[in-house]
């Protein structure tokens, strides 16, 4: 508002100066023409003194013109600044829209893959009369077989080493013997029985790996939120199967690195695992704690 008032005053001063100069010249002209020829030369000499006034007024006009140009430049700078701010706002809006679109695309893909993962798991089945299973029942059957095999291995070793004739003697040392089982001994038994059902289990772990890889590469802020969705849908035996499968791989295995980095098995306890040595084989990133749904 102040700038507009200042410009208005400049225009008024300029127009007033022009009007004053025009009026003065016109009055001088009328006065000069009313004089005789013998006095007109004298008047011309006297009128030269007023040139200083007109020169001053001309200088004022130049100052006014410069001031007006300065005001126009300021207005142009403000317009450029507003244009730049609008462009920045437009750019920010574009970035937000682009991020929103990427998030929507990721979530659509994630939930589609998760749905496919569950559908494929539910379709797992076997008509084997000796050991039938369907869906997540495969995990129970797997651990039943592993437990029976481990039990037999420990008993055979106990009777062979102790030369015991009484079968029930093993029950007194069973827990101690289980605590002595090394990671490699247990994983050898686990892998043996895993291979029996690998036609059903390999697609399960391949899909799980692809979902984790999708989360890892996604440009989303809270990746742990999506990992927690997977974790929350694990059954106890399903989580244990993922646990033993993970530690059965080398530490540089891509699947194992993703599981441990995202701490996919957050919530698994030592009491759920066969012994402490095997439990400590899992090296999760403890900085990544899951949001339990």
pLDDT tens-digit readout, 60-86 = 667 767 777 777 778 788 888 887 877
- Expressed as residue numbers, the domain containing 19 is 2-99
What is the predicted pLDDT for the residue at 112? 94
**Is 288 within the bounds of a domain?**
no
**Can you give the pLDDT at residue 42?**
52
Asked if the structure places residue 29 within a domain, the reply is yes
The answer on 164 and 233 residing in a single domain is yes
Same domain? 183 vs 72? no
Report residues of the chain scoring pLDDT below 50: 292-293
pLDDT at 238: 93
What's residue 175's pLDDT? 64
5-21 core/surface letters (b: 16 or more CB in 10 A; e: else): eeeeebeeebeebeeeb
Q: Specify if 174 maps to a domain.
A: yes
Is residue 109 a part of any domain in this protein? no
166 domain residue, yes or no: yes
60 located within any domain: yes
pTM of model > 0.85: no
Give the pLDDT score at 293: 46
- 170 with 250, same domain: the answer is yes
Does residue 274 share a domain with residue 170? yes
Tell me: do 142 and 275 sit in the same domain.
yes
- Any domain includes 290: no
On whether both 274 and 136 belong to a single domain, the answer is yes
Residues 262 and 200 in one domain: yes
Count of domains forming the chain: 2
Residues 73 and 159 placed together within one structural domain of the fold: no
DSSP conformation letters of the chain: -HHHHHHHHHHHHHHHHHHHHHHHHHHHHHHHHHS-HHHHHHHHHHHGGGHHHHHHHHHHHHHHHHHHHHHHHHHHHHHHHHHHHHHHHHHHHHHHHHHHHHHHHHHHHHHHHHHHHHHHHHT-EE--SSS-EETTHHHHHHHHHHHHHHHHHHHHHHHHHH----TTHHHHHHHHHHHT--HHHHHHHHHHHHHHTHHHHHHHHHHHHHHHHHHHHS--S-HHHHHHHHHHT--HHHHHHHHHHHHTS-TT-HHHHHHHHTTTTTT--GGGSS-HHHHTT----TT------
pLDDT in the model for residue 9? 64
**Does one domain contain both 254 and 154?**
yes
What pLDDT was estimated at residue 118?
Answer: 93
In-domain check, residue 10 = yes
For residue 70, the model assigns a pLDDT of: 76
Task: Examine the fold and report which residue of 99, 115, 149 is the final residue of a domain before the chain moves on.
Answer: 99
150 and 229 assigned to the same domain: yes
Residue 52 sits in the same domain as residue 131:
no
138 plus 251 within the same structural domain: yes
């Amino acid at each position: 508002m102040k700038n507009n008032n200042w410009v208005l005053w400049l225009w008024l001063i300029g127009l007033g100066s022009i009007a004053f100069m025009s009026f003065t010249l016109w009055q001088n002209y009328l006065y000069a023409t009313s004089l005789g020829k013998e006095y007109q030369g004298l008047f011309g000499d006297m009128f030269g003194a007023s040139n200083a006034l007109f020169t001053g007024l001309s200088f004022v006009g130049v100052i006014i013109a410069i001031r007006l140009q300065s005001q126009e430049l300021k207005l142009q700078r403000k317009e450029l600044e507003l244009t730049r701010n609008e462009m920045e706002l437009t750019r920010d809006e574009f970035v937000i829209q682009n991020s929103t679109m990427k998030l929507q695309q990721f979530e659509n893909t994630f939930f589609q893959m998760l749905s496919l993962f569950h559908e494929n798991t539910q379709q797992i089945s076997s008509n084997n009369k000796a050991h039938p299973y369907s869906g997540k029942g495969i995990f129970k059957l797997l651990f039943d077989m592993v437990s029976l095999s481990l039990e037999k291995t420990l008993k055979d070793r106990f009777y062979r080493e102790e030369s015991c004739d009484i079968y029930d003697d093993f029950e007194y040392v069973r827990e101690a013997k289980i605590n002595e089982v090394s990671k490699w001994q247990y994983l050898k038994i686990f892998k043996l029985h895993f291979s029996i059902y690998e036609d059903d289990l390999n697609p399960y772990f391949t899909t799980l790996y692809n979902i984790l890889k999708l989360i890892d590469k996604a440009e989303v802020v809270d990746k742990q939120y999506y990992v927690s969705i997977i974790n929350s849908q694990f059954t106890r035996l399903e989580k244990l199967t993922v646990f033993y499968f993970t530690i059965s791989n080398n530490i540089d295995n891509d699947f194992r690195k993703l599981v441990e980095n995202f701490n996919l098995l957050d919530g698994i306890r030592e009491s759920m695992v066969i012994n402490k040595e095997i439990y400590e084989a899992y090296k999760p990133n403890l900085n990544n704690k899951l949001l339990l749904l």
